[in-house]
Structure 1
Amino acid sequence: MLFDGVDGAAGEVFLLSRRVAMSQQSLIISGVPWFDDRGRTVNAHGGCIVEERGLYYLFGEYKTDEENRFAGFSCYSSPDLVYWTFRRIVLPQQKNGPTGPGRIGERVKVMRCPATGRYVMYMHADDLEYCDPYICYAVCDTIDGDYEFRGPLTFRSELIRRWDLGVFQDDDGAGYLLVHEGDIYRLAADYQSAEELVGEGIALGGEAPAVAKLGGRYWMLFSGKTSWDCNDNYCLSAPSMRGPWTYQGLFAPEGTMTCNSQTLYVLPVHTEHGEIAMYMGDRWSYPHQASAATYVWQRLSVNHGRLRLAEYLPVWSPVSGEAEPFEGRRIAVGFRSDRAGESVSVPFHGSRVALTGRADQWGSYARVGIRGIGPGGESAMAAGPIFVSWYAKSPDSGYRYVSPELPEDDCVLTVTVTGEVPQWTDKSGQRFGSVGSMVDVDEVIVAQ
């Protein structure tokens, strides 16, 4: 991308920063689909963010709306954590092997190795029944280039046959691999094998590990095991990565199911009021993960020696680090239905629109789309339609959908009930998911 002699990452920062400055609001809105520069949903789950040369690079699982299989790992970039540019599928499905056809690829994490300057990508590879796990890795010379799959990661020449993983790079450049149940491996200097087991079984029953260094201590976050459903996540702390690790309990209010999300990663974010730690969580949405699974990004803090996500901010500014409202004209809707095919349409004039409503255990999917209305009354699809979820394990009244920014025009937003009841079972046969197919729309907020 070029602009007046500025190219590469610097050019993208300039152009996107200009776009942000011209935009009405530049906000992180949790629990709704996000859209990239192509108008498609940002599809990067289970991943991480790497900051480099003024850009944030988001890596994640490139999900489908049809089935849980490995379709590749994606990479997006942003100057501000709000506007995302799709770079590429940095690691596609392989022809065969652990990440070949009929396999699963999850929990992708990337670190730049200080010793080699190369980027090393880690992932969980498995079969569709989650009975053949590997921790694998790939390498690349550039952060958003084509990663070369290298195969399973080893420790003392033995394969690491585990699943959920996280990574952490300490201040001295040492890299660590974190796996479910709380094992911690220190990586070799080139980050391409595990050299030492520095922690073992510190969180039995835990998965989705992530580490942050805050307040002079190390904090490790874990989720319980409830399949695609969320739960009250917890944390441990230690003076070093070698421990000793002390259980510190829940870091979000009990019963909120960690803001209806599963811990993923912790990112330092520079705001005008100083650096904050940003909790990154996935709000999974089985089976429609590509469009309906969303992200929960919130502020973490250490208060009186305890890690806290004390207040859920539905909308906040990454510039100030503070809560801000989504501004616009409000239109009361009051639509509530569980009948497949029933819909509500709301005409509006503006450039962006948000939906609010209640999500709970009786909720399900709707198809949400926007049509632009031409001068002669003809219409053309302006955004979507995509699946949007009204299911939440912990009841939540808030934003369900926020459209991409569109040319200001006369439009009609339509919400159509699918009638699906999203349910699934885990390997043990335990049932999870919704008990209904309800869609509940309170109001529409129109940004001019």
Structure 2
Amino acid sequence: MSQQSFIVSGVPWFDDRGRTVNAHGGCIVEENGLYYLFGEYKTDEENRFAGFSCYSSPDLAHWTFRRIVLPQQKDGLMGPGRIGERVKVMRCPTTGQYVMFMHSDDLGYYDPHICYAVCDTIDGDYEFRGPLTFHGESVHRWDLGVFQDDDGTGYLLVHEGDIYRLSDDYLSVAEQVGEGIALGGEAPAVAKLGGRYWMLFSGKTSWDCNDNYCLSAPTMRGPWTYQGLFAPEGSMTCNSQTLYVLPVRTAHGEIAMYMGDRWSFPHQASAATYVWQQLSVDHGRLRLAEYQPSWSPISGKAEPFEGRHVDVGFWSDKAGESVSIPFHGSRVALTGKADQWGSYARVGIRGAGMSEESAMVVDPIFVSWYAKSPDAGYRYVSPELPEDDYVLTVTVTGEVPQWTDKSGQRFGSVGSMVDVDEAIVAQ
């Protein structure tokens, strides 16, 4: 049984090239039997716009890299020295065009614009058009979401809870239909469930996570009612920040899939991960009631990573210390505890009996053991490999992942610990 058929939250995912799926802050568009994942193509070195990526999948588990659909521009709002975030794509029903929305900013986050690009094909080269306008003026906002209603009406959602109805061609704002419904909120997303509209928000804690919350309304124009937290209090929304809600058809009916980002500053390219979980409406309240570390999008049911369990018991905060785990199989997972003392390790796989870096079959990537809310579970799941003899190596970096926001407030870890409990080897 292939574990790659399952969604495993909080671990790096690998695409058809064996590289980490690098598509954060984005969305999914379903078309012609494929799911298209758009996101920020991050680097492990610095926070800057390097492009927006697109991946496709038939099952939300096997991901194929399509291309960088919008690269860094030569100059201007999406040029060098700029931020590019929160990419969202919708197909406009009146024109057939795909319209991409994004947050552009300077590196200090003092020059926000909502911008857009267009393309005739879902995974083609998008043409950057510049800032989105409302009454002829640029929309100077940052964290954004989008929502397409059943009748094709498109909405732009921004921080603080402002809601804008887009024009029929999605290329400008027609009117503002909501204002300040979530003061202090960011990362908005909307789902339509149980005959009501639900808007999800995160608090503002920089790259760190927090307990996200939601509001509901009978229409997108409101009135919006605060409904409190939708995940268990103290879980920090499963250590993630709300991103998008996707309807998914399973063998047991349609579910609403919460999509969240588990950011990992500064190593966002390989160590930032995804938290995809099921939402439901229970007694009139939106709930992410039970965290499923691994589940099947086909059945909608929880499925563990199955294999032979190997005790590792490695625990260290000393830079350069490592543990090597020989195994015979086609895939391997690591479990361990992540908490506020956690840090980064470099994790890679080489062929057994080979020590040269050129013999690596899975290049070392940064993997995070930091979690604001303590979590014991999967930390790493390798890509599928030909069944053979391998050695997995975990090396402590000694780096303390911490940062400050532009107000000077400190966030992140207080240590450099890496804790590996066991390896699970699949044949």
- The match for 2:334 is 355
Q: Hey, what does 1:33 align to over in structure 2?
A: 12
Q: Is it true that 1:277 corresponds to 2:256 in the alignment?
A: yes
Contact 1:373–1:379 (8 Å) recurs in 2 = no
The offset of 1:23, in angstroms, is 3.6
Find the partner of 1:133 among 112, 117, 120.
112
1:414–1:195 CA distance, 2 compared to 1 (3 A): same
Match of 1:268 among 228, 239, 247: 247
2:314 maps to a residue whose letter is: F
For residue 98 of structure 1, give the secondary structure of its aligned residue in structure 2: helix
Render the CA deviation track for 1:213-260: whole Å, top value 9, x for unaligned.
000000000000000000000000000000000000000000000000
How do 1:142-291 and structure 2 match up within 5 A? 142-291=121-270
Q: Structure 1 377/427 Cα, relative in aligned 2: closer, same or farther at 3 Å?
A: closer
Alignment of 1:60-139 (within 5 A): 60-139=39-118
CA contact (8 A) 2:67 2:123 kept: yes
Structure 1 CA distance for aligned equivalents of residues 403 and 355 of structure 2? 47
Question: In the alignment, does 2:301 pair up with 1:292?
Answer: no
For the Cα contact (< 8 Å) 1:334–1:441, is it kept in 2?
Answer: yes
After TM superposition, give the deviation of residue 386 of structure 1 in Å.
0.3
Match of 1:327 among 299, 306, 310: 306
Secondary structure at the residue paired with 1:259?
Answer: helix
Deviations 1:328-351 (A, max 9, x none): 000000000000000000100000
SS in 2 for 1:441: strand
Question: Aligned residue for 2:294?
Answer: 315
Normalising by structure 1, we get a TM-score of 0.94
CA 1:191–1:340 in structure 2 vs 1: closer, same or farther (change >3 Å)? same
Distance (whole Å) between structure 1 residues aligned to residue 355 and residue 225 of structure 2: 67
What is aligned with 2:34? 55
Instruction: State the identity as a percent.
Output: 87
Give the TM-score of the pair, scaled to structure 2: 0.99
State the distance in 1 between where 2:3 and 2:141 align: 45
Unaligned runs of 5+ in 1: 1-21
- How far off is 1:374 after superposition? 5.9
Q: Deviations for 1:67-118, whole angstroms, at most 9, x for unmatched residues?
A: 0000000000000000000000000000111110000000000000000000
C-alpha distance in structure 2 between counterparts of 1:396 and 1:288, whole Å: 20
Counterpart in 2 of 1:390? 369
Q: Summarize deviations over 1:177-202 as a string: whole Å, max 9, x none.
A: 00000000000000000001000000
Give 1:308's aligned amino acid: R
Quote how far apart the aligned CAs of 1:438 are. 0.1
Is the Cα–Cα contact under 8 Å of residues 146 and 156 in structure 2 kept in the other structure? yes
Deviation, structure 1 residue 358? 0.2
Count of matched residue pairs: 427
Q: 1:373: how far off?
A: 2.1
**8 Å Cα contact 1:206-1:224 kept in structure 2:** yes
Letter in 2 for 1:381: M
Question: 1:158 Cα shift?
Answer: 1.1
Gaps of 5+ in 2: none
3-state secondary structure, aligned to 2:77: coil
Deviation at 1:25, TM superposition (A): 5.2
Confirm or deny: 8 A CA contact 2:281 2:287 kept in the other structure: yes
3-state secondary structure, aligned to 1:258: helix
1:278-320: CA deviation from partner (whole Å, max 9, x where unpaired):
0000000000000000000000000000000000000000011
Q: How many Å separate the matches in 1 of 2:353 and 2:391?
A: 11
Partners of 1:118 and 1:159 lie apart in 2 by: 22
Instruction: Label 1:133 to 1:330 Cα distance change in 2 as closer, same or farther (>3 A).
Output: same
Pairwise CA RMSD of aligned residues?
Answer: 1.3
Aligned-pair CA distance for 1:377: 11
User: Is the 2:4–2:384 Cα contact (8 Å) retained in structure 1?
Assistant: no
Tell me what 2:283 maps to. 304
Instruction: Tell me the distance in 2 between the aligned counterparts of 1:158 and 1:329.
Output: 60
Q: Is the 8 A contact 2:326 2:352 kept in 1?
A: no
Give the counterpart of 2:403 among 424, 429, 438: 424
In the superposition, relative to structure 1, how do residues 375 and 223 fare at CA in structure 2: closer, same or farther (>3 Å)? closer
Give yes or no for contact 2:4–2:61 (8 Å, CA) kept in 1: no
